[in-house]
Amino acid sequence: MRWTRRAPAFAALVVVALATAPAALAQAPGTDAPSAPGRSTTTTALPTSTDPTTTETTTTAPPDTGAGAATSNAPGKAGRGSTTTSNPPRSTTTTTTTILAVASGTWITAPGYNPDWHSINPPWVLKPPPDSGEGRRIVYSKFQQRVWLMEDNGYITNTHLVSGRYDIPAFGVYQVYSKSLSTFATHNPSIIWNYMVRFAVGPQGGGIGLHEIPTQYGRPVQTVEQLGQPLSGGCLRQAHDDAVLVWNWAPVGTTVVVVP
């Protein structure tokens, strides 16, 4: 009689225990509940290019933590763990390419180089004439038909021969006032050139600047070997690499000093 009366109560206790068991297990230490201690995250660095002509910047967005993400901690040795997600990180890559140009016997990337890396040139690098100014500037010697790109610390980033004229522009201090990636001669539009960096004005009102050797009907008007001779109408003709370097190195406002 006693067992018969107690049987319903015992059955009720069993039902309550079965109903509360999942909740108790969900809060047990070491399980995958959101508040469980000891969780760890593994971060993998994405490779980036070290090519001197290319810079790649990779940005990785955090994984989706909404209803679509499933997270689990695999048991392992103490202090180690792993995180897996059903939605992998999203990444975007931006590539920037710069032009390489020769400077003082070494390769530099312009723009983006750091002149503070250098302060003393090798002894064989030709120095500019005395009294040719101070600070970051372009020095042009008309009698030598040569240009120097000078840094604030006195380092010569580059020096190269040009073809200009002995009479113009006049000696003095100028500033770069405009640049054109491609232009032509006002008196003869069939003569064209690239990388024009203007710093003076000629006697007839035309711009005088540094630029690549011009072409006419697709052919250069002079050779690179002829640089150093005064063959131009007033501008300073340069080899291709030197013209690219000056274009990148000299923003508008750069000082240009013209000396004998």
The residues spanned by each domain of the chain are: 133-259
* Predicted pLDDT of residue 1: 44
Higher pLDDT among residues 67 and 150, named by residue:
150
218 has a pLDDT exceeding 90: yes
Asked if residue 221 lies in contact with residue 247, where contact means CB atoms within 8 angstroms, the answer is no
Which residue type occupies 122?
P
* Predicted pLDDT of residue 123: 87
* Predicted pLDDT of residue 22: 44
Asked if residue 197 lies in contact with residue 247, where contact means CB atoms within 8 angstroms, the answer is yes
Q: Return the CATH class of domain 133-259.
A: mainly beta
Mean pLDDT of the chain: 71
The Cα–Cα gap between 27 and 249 comes to 65
Burial of 253 per CB tally in 10 Å (0-12, 13-18, 19+)? exposed
Six token digits for residue 79: 């202090």
What backbone torsions phi and psi does residue 235 show, to the nearest 5 degrees? -75, 175
pLDDT-derived band at 115, boundaries 50, 70, 90: confident
* Predicted pLDDT of residue 204: 87
Contacts of 94 (CB under 8 A, 6+ apart): 56, 57
Q: What is the mean pLDDT of residues 221-234?
A: 96
Give the Å distances, CA to CA, from 212 to 38, 46, 55, 194, 221: 65, 41, 27, 6, 11
Asked if residue 246 lies in contact with residue 138, where contact means CB atoms within 8 angstroms, the answer is yes
177-195 pLDDT tens trace: 999 999 998 889 999 999 9
What does the chain come to in residues?
260
140-168 pLDDT tens trace: 999 999 999 999 989 998 999 999 999 99
The Cα–Cα gap between 46 and 23 comes to 40
Q: What is the mean pLDDT of residues 14-40?
A: 41
